[in-house]
Structures are given as structure tokens and as C-alpha cells.
Amino acid sequence: MRFWLMKSEPEVFSWTDLVARGETGEEWDGVRNYQARNYMREMKLGDRAFFYHSQSDKAVVGICEVIAAAHPDSTTDDPRWDCVDVRARQAFETPVTLAMVKAEPGLAEMALLRQSRLSVQPVTTEEWRIVCTMGGVDP
């Protein structure tokens, strides 16, 4: 199983919105960046991803699970864009803010800091463990 981080502006689609979708989950559509798309194509069923609120919130707020491998993005006819489906799994006890990530030496190499504009990014096993611990959930 691999680990990822996916960003969303909470004003557009929030963690609460994903929780409301329940087991059905939601298509992670709208990504129009090749690197982010390629990462989604690498995702497999059962992979876990942090749900990150960008812009107003700037915090990892929960963990979601990939429930459908990459397929065409239903919001466009352009065949270049694929996306996966995810469902909410577990909310963090404590949101892990961007400031907290920056303050943690073990997370200095995270793509979240290195490539701030990338909306879908890989997370290492060690980074996953650290962030989960900070968030108050079992890795």
C-alpha cells in the first residue's frame, strides 16, 4: 500500500463534504496537471491519502482511501485527464497545520513543502507515520 496527499480548497470541496458522501465516496476530478494526474494513475485500491485543506485552512484534516483506480475524469471530454475515487476513512483528532509540518524536522522533505503547488503528491511511509502521530490517529 502506498501513501499520498491530496489537496482541496475547503470552500470548494471539504473534508466534511467527503464524509457526507459516505461509502460512495467522491471522484477526485478537476485535476489538470500532468504530474498530479500521473500520481493518480499510480494509485491502487486501498491506498491511503491525507486530505489537505489548502488556502484558508492549510491543514491535514483526515485520511481517505482510494476506492476506484484511475478512470476518465467525468468533468471533461479531454481524454488526457484521469482521476481516482476516494472515500473518507478517519478524521484527525488534531488537524496538522502547515506550520506544524514546517516545524517538524522529520517532515522537511515533504512534497507539501518542496512543491507547494502540486495538488496530488506522494508521502513516504515515515512521513505518514509522523503526520498520523501528530494528528492523533494510528498510522
Q: Which residues contribute to the site for DNA (CB under 7 A)?
A: 7, 9, 32-35, 54-55, 58, 98-99, 102, 112, 115-119
CB of 120 to DNA, least distance (A): 9
Nearer to DNA, 44 or 102 (CB): 102
Beta partners for residue 55, in sequence order: none
CB of 22 to DNA, least distance (A): 25
CB of 102 to DNA, least distance (A): 7
Nearer to DNA, 44 or 116 (CB): 116
Q: How far apart are CA 114 and CA 18, in angstroms?
A: 27
**DSSP-assigned states of every residue in 57-124:** T-EEEEEEEEEEEEEE-TT---TT-EEEEEEEEEEEEEEEEHHHHHH-GGGTT-HHHHSTT-SEEEE-
Nearer to DNA, 45 or 109 (CB): 109
CB of 28 to DNA, least distance (A): 13
Nearer to DNA, 46 or 116 (CB): 116
Q: What is the dihedral of CA 128, 10, 22, 68, to 10 degrees?
A: -60
Alpha-carbon distance values, 107 to 19, 62, 63, 70 (Å): 27, 17, 18, 28
